[in-house]
Amino acid sequence: MSQYSQAMRDARSGDAVKARQAFDKLRDLAENHPDDKLADDALYQAGEVAERYLGEYNLAQQMYEQVIERFPDSRNAMRAKGALRRLARGRETGDRPYFLYTQVLRQYAQIGSEEALKRMKDLYRQYPDFRLADRVGYWIAEEYTRLDSNEEALPYYRDVIKRFPDERYGFLAQVGLGNAFIELRQFRQAADAFQALATMKGYNEAKKISDYYVGITYQFMALWVLFWLTLAVVAGWVIRVAAFTPWRNLQPRILLRIWPELLALLVPMSGGVAYVWDRSLDMRESLLWLMVGATLMLLGNTAHIYARQPGTIHAQRFSAFSALVGLALTYAIFYLTDLLNVLLDSLKATFNI
């Protein structure tokens, strides 16, 4: 057990020498202890090390074939068959591009996003006939999207769609193109991109998926329109309060009497900011500005009421009520946004994007 664990740690260390040592340990474990419960797993992992860390694909193929031959009824025999298919597909246009592709994926954590993008773009340009070129182009586009560089992602999505219209990654690229347009707030183009899904052959349920995404797009469009309308209302209300409040009659001690309203504002406001920030929503900045605007509006409203009707119980009740209603609407908006993002993430997970 300790030999197996040490070999797996060495394989994942990123060091070529340790990877070679890990391969030897795993192969020795399988050969010298064929009755060990980890023998089949050690042999399969030896193939993985040879393929992913050493780039010796013939050796990896031998290990996978031995797993199938020696342990035909094991779970790893099924995995080895899948690995052989993957290996054959990747090597179809040569070992070099496949090695470069797997190397970037393997070393991503060490080399970082910028270097990984550079290597993938070089691979995509130098080996246009690479069997996995659709995955490379899609990976580049998705990485740009993850970095919030949606403009940079668009040409790669389009190229994958153009070159592989009937393949799985062509279909996924079409979805990514629509999502990128949504992030750029280009809703008309997003709807067109999602409508094009219905004519693609990537999935049997293409029409249903297309209709779903088009619906999501129009919901985002409505949310975006609502956001700007809310900002306009907030701005108009702040101007109105600033223009008509008798500031000369507003005594500083009044602020000491409005602590219920301040508490009703600041506690939910702080919780809302923390919630939005932790969830890292796509529309985080917009929602934060909306909440700030709502706070300005309600504080101004409170000052306006106290200046005109200082100390009246009706003014206090109305001010607290308006604060709660305003924050409830604000919460409803960003909870809706959160729900939409959850739905999108679920759909991505369903289709293993």
Going from N- to C-terminal start, the domains of the chain cover 2-91, 97-218, 245-346
DSSP for 171-224, written as a single string: HHHHHHHHHHHHHTT-HHHHHHHHHGGGG-SS-TTHHHHHHHHHHHHHHHHHHH
Backbone dihedral angles phi then psi of residue 149, each to the nearest 5 degrees: -110, 65
Spatial distance between the Cα atoms of 301 and 244, rounded to a whole number of angstroms: 11
Rounded-to-5 percentages of helix, strand, coil across the chain:
85, 0, 15
Sign of the CA dihedral with 208 first, then 134, 131, and 91 last: negative
Asked if 13 and 52 touch (Cβ cutoff 8 Å), the reply is: no
Asked if 49 and 19 touch (Cβ cutoff 8 Å), the reply is: yes
Spatial distance between the Cα atoms of 141 and 151, rounded to a whole number of angstroms: 10
Tokens of residue 257, six digits: 């009497």
Spatial distance between the Cα atoms of 341 and 116, rounded to a whole number of angstroms: 27
Backbone dihedral angles phi then psi of residue 92, each to the nearest 5 degrees: -60, -35
**97-218 and 2-91 share a CATH fold:** yes
CA distances from 150 to 72, 119, 127, 186, 281 (A): 47, 19, 24, 11, 16
User: What's the Rg (C-alpha) of the chain?
Assistant: 29
Q: Return the DSSP state at 165.
A: T
Give pLDDT, residue 231. 65
| One pLDDT digit (tens) per residue for the chain, 353 residues | 567 777 777 777 767 788 888 888 888 888 888 888 888 888 898 888 888 888 888 998 999 999 999 988 888 899 999 989 988 888 888 888 988 998 888 888 888 999 999 999 999 999 999 999 999 999 999 999 999 899 999 999 999 999 998 888 999 999 999 999 988 888 889 999 999 998 887 677 888 888 888 888 887 777 677 767 766 766 676 676 666 666 666 666 655 555 555 555 555 555 555 554 554 444 455 555 556 555 655 665 665 555 555 544 455 555 555 555 655 666 566 656 655 665 666 565 555 54
Give pLDDT, residue 313. 44
Spatial distance between the Cα atoms of 11 and 164, rounded to a whole number of angstroms: 35
Within 10 angstroms of residue 61's Cβ, the number of other Cβ atoms is: 19
Fold classification of 2-91 (topology level):
1.25.40
Which amino acid belongs to residue 219?
Q
Buried/exposed 191-201: b ≥16 CB within 10 Å, e otherwise:
bebbebbeebe
Q: Using alpha carbons, select from 316, 120, 6 the residue that is nearest to residue 308.
A: 316
CA distances from 254 to 305, 307, 334 (A): 11, 8, 33
Buried/exposed 89-112: b ≥16 CB within 10 Å, e otherwise:
ebbebeeebbbbbbbbeeeeeeee
> In what helix (H) or strand (E) does residue 54 lie, and over which residues does it extend?
none
Spatial distance between the Cα atoms of 90 and 77, rounded to a whole number of angstroms: 20
Spatial distance between the Cα atoms of 250 and 253, rounded to a whole number of angstroms: 9
Give pLDDT, residue 68. 92
Give pLDDT, residue 108. 86
Confirm whether pTM is higher than 0.95. Answer: no
Dump pLDDT digits (tens) for 23-46. 888 888 888 888 888 888 888 988
Fold classification of 97-218 (topology level):
1.25.40
Spatial distance between the Cα atoms of 79 and 236, rounded to a whole number of angstroms: 64
Asked if 341 and 183 touch (Cβ cutoff 8 Å), the reply is: no
Give pLDDT, residue 285. 53
